[in-house]
Chain A
Amino acid sequence: MALNSNIPSGPLAQKWDQHKFDLKLVNPANKRKFQVIVVGSGLAGASAAATLAELGYVVKCFCYQDSPRRAHSIAAQGGINAAKNYQNDGDSVHRLFYDTIKGGDFRAREANVYRLAQVSVNIIDQCVAQGVPFAREYGGLLDNRSFGGAQVSRTFYARGQTGQQLLLGAYSALSRQIGLGTVTMYPRTEMLDLVMVDGHAKGIITRDLANGRIERHAADAVVLATGGYGTVFFLSTNAVGCNVTATYRAHRRGALFANPCYTQIHPTCIPVSGDHQSKLTLMSESLRNDGRVWVPKRKEDCGKTASQIPESDRDYFLERKYPSFGNLAPRDISSRAAKEVCDEGRGVGPGGLGVYLDFSDAIKRLGEDKIRERYGNLFDMYECITGENAYRQPMRIFPAVHYTMGGLWVDYNLMSNLPGLFVLGEANFSDHGANRLGASALMQGLADGYFVIPYTIAHYFATSKQQRPSTDHPAFQQAEENVTGMANRLLGIKGKRTVRSFHRELGKLVWEHCGMARSQQSLEAALKRIPELRDEFWHNVNVPGSGSSLNQSLEYAGRVADFMEFAELLCTDALARNESCGGHFRVEHQTEDGEALRHDDQFAHAAAWEYKGLGKAPELHKEPLVYEEVHMSTRSYK
């Protein structure tokens, strides 16, 4: 299989404009003849569904949550980047592009990232027009803050709830279309299979979670905007319902999965408190604007309270190691630095798995009121979870799984290798390389949904000339049998262990062997253990209840069953990528001072994996990453 990324020719800065002109259009009267399925209603899905419906397409939108307003985009706190240069501090499209490519450790596709930076400015305009209440200055103009991995202030924010406000904007646009009858919304509905007809994606099989009904939906194209796979680690900052099911089942139908080993560990999360924990909570990276990260210089001081440790005995390790970026070093670098000091035995809090994030200097400099205004809700959240007051004592933070840069492979048009299957937002692999910069996920989700898919999907319709099949087509029959067969199998096992216990064990295994640091040895051990655990799952899981009503155990079992296979793909990719880059840190490949060591001669490619059957080795396809504009340098934040 030859991977064609369909990157337009011409100078980088003109590619998207020229491409928009070259793409075929569908005339307004014909648009209503095309039906589009959008799975997922986060920033990418909701913005795509709303925009496609505004254009005249007939849209069906699906989400597993009880309302499209609840997708996990809602939890993003800090902000959204845009190259507006409102601060006159030297920002530009080119700088945002370069920061993103560099932040991704030169493992992203240049043309996609440039387009992302270009449309970032339109996103802010669109959101303001929808009534998103971004923070403003007294003069009435928009305020900005700075974020990790950048030396300019380009991040727009709405208190600590930027994700919620942007999602409410996209949701309101979507709701308007639902009200107009151009979008049919299916909440509490989960996609369980992709239907392929004559080599094109032409429909999906869904389960209505409220009553268990299995349904067939045919369309002219299928858009997946189903988010990332961070919950393969069990504990992550993702919502507990986040899952890999839609993308993995598309993968089983032939869609290539690219770079699954690129997972992001966020440096500022609340540390784990015990085995009961169901998820981890992120504290926005924006806190690092005013908080200083430190641990005691000496192990012996770790048992003391922070106030008992004098200034001279504190190690502000990010400021020490990365003087020019300091506490705002990118996420992968900050996380690894925190792990290092904890591995040295200098971590604080229970189990020694934590570092301090200290606001006392900022409170002295700006006053408590200013800090409360900037981060009040985050401090409240911290107190609610830990019972500690961060105005009086430093927060304790530790890295946690947060975002996944890998995803289904897509070309420049965001179409997967399966014609008619488009993938947007975190679910695709395209824009963040091996590490995502803060405030860029919201940007990508909305860029894909508002400003890319509306153009590129028309080209597919105008050129593919495929008929929309009837849901009586044998391919639908076969896919439905596949879905009901799997549910019946899960319900019939009646074993001894709960679904959660399997998920927790799998997550721990993947975290320990394929988390912040990976080695050939750890990955080989994981690859041996995962199939054993999967086998036990299929013989010993206990899924109570029936398939014909709301059954949360059954929903969960299906998702964990997919993780049992996906985890193997993740570790396979991590083993094959015999270098370190961004969030993928192989201990065998590091510089003398412990930084990630890339091997551009062998690994300057996207690794796209083809499913070959359960228990069979997936086949690797490589898309070479060609940099026309930027020079692949070694990242330095010193």
Chain B
Amino acid sequence: MAKKLNLTLKVWRQDNAADQGRFETYPARGIDEDMSFLEMLDVVNEGLVEAGREPIAFDSDCREGICGTCSLVINGIPHGGRKGTTACQLHMRNFKDGQTISVEPWRARAFPVIRDLVVDRTAFDRIIQSGGFVSVRTGGAPDANAIPIPKEISDRAMDAAQCIGCGACVAACKNASAMLFVAAKVSHLNLLPQGRPEKSRRAERMVWQMDQEGFGACTVTGSCEAVCPKEISLDFIARLNRDYGLSVLK
């Protein structure tokens, strides 16, 4: 039989973007240690609804760590601090009985709060729209094996491509910088022969859009890498700086 935990939650509640917001305290009793953090919130919400109160709004979808929807700062750390793990995959066995846990939304100017723990991350989509693609049309692509790509290069591109676009990197950064996200996206495509023709243009445009969205500057403290659920390496920021620098010098 799984162990049960009794916890106290301090949860950020905010009715809308204009509301000032506040912490509210809720008990979470009889929590099964096999539950995920979000399943624990489901249980708390069931109790709130039964007590005639409004449930805590939070985003989630796949609940298996891949869609990048869940976005909770748990005890001050985006996704809760377990290495390489999203909040939906953080299980309650990582907490202690009697513990008080704070739950907050991503906090960044570029990610305004919609309600409670739900934020608007469309800024990331706009960065991709500015250059995060290879300009090919459907149809007319050459045979997939026409361009051999060394395994090391393809693996490296895959390391970058693993980014799930959750925004934890921004939430962890003291400047709310989106550099790790942009670096992962630019590197994934710039490493591959298919992405090389637009290499400079891509780096330039995506960095420009990132600045437009109000993300802060990068000072390479590495807090982004520490919380990234896909463990995207800081090395990609160096690579982005190089691609960006070369494009500016051109």
A residues within 8 Å of B by Cβ? 47, 50-51, 54, 65-70, 72, 74-75, 84, 86, 122, 124-131, 133-142, 158-159, 161, 163-165, 168, 171-173, 175-176, 178-179, 185, 187, 210, 237, 239-241, 273-274, 276-279, 281-282, 380-381, 384-385, 387, 450-451, 454, 496, 498, 500-501, 542, 544-545, 549-550, 552-553
Contact = CB atoms under 8 A, between A and B. Distances in A.
A66 B121 contact: yes
Contacts of B16: 549
B151 A67 contact: no
A51 B139 CA distance: 9
A384 B85 contact: yes
A75 B67 contact: yes
B46 A175 contact: no
Given A133-B157, A210-B120, A380 B63 contact: no
A129 B43 CA distance: 45
B133 A86 contact: no
A273 B55 contact: no
Interface string B65-89: 1111100000000000010110001
A129 B151 CA distance: 17
Contact of B151 (A68, A140, A159, A241): A140
Given A133-B161, A380-B84, A385 B43 contact: no
B59 interface: yes
A284 to B, nearest CB: 11
Interface in B22-76: 32, 34-36, 38-39, 42-43, 46, 49-50, 52-55, 57, 59-69
A425 to B, nearest CB: 16
B102 to A, nearest CB: 21
A142 B63 contact: no
A508 to B, nearest CB: 16
Given A133-B161, A136-B149, A498-B49, 14 more contacts: A50-B138, A124-B144, A133-B155, A133-B188, A139-B148, A175-B133, A178-B125, A187-B125, A239-B67, A278-B36, A384-B89, A385-B36, A450-B139, A553-B55
Nearest to A171: B128
A553 B143 CA distance: 48
A95 B134 CA distance: 33
Nearest to B71: A66
19 contacts: A65-B67, A65-B69, A72-B61, A86-B145, A126-B136, A126-B138, A130-B133, A130-B134, A136-B149, A175-B133, A185-B125, A241-B61, A387-B93, A451-B138, A498-B50, A550-B57, A550-B115, A550-B118, A553-B49
A591 to B, nearest CB: 36
Contacts of B91: 384-385, 387
Contacts of B147: 128
B151 A454 contact: no
Given A128-B144, A210-B120, A553-B55, A175 B61 contact: no
A176 B89 contact: no
Nearest to B115: A550
A253 B128 CA distance: 37
Given A381-B89, A500-B42, A501-B46, A544 B54 contact: yes
Given A54-B138, A381-B89, A542 B49 contact: yes
Contacts of A281: 63-64
B138 A164 contact: no
A233 to B, nearest CB: 15
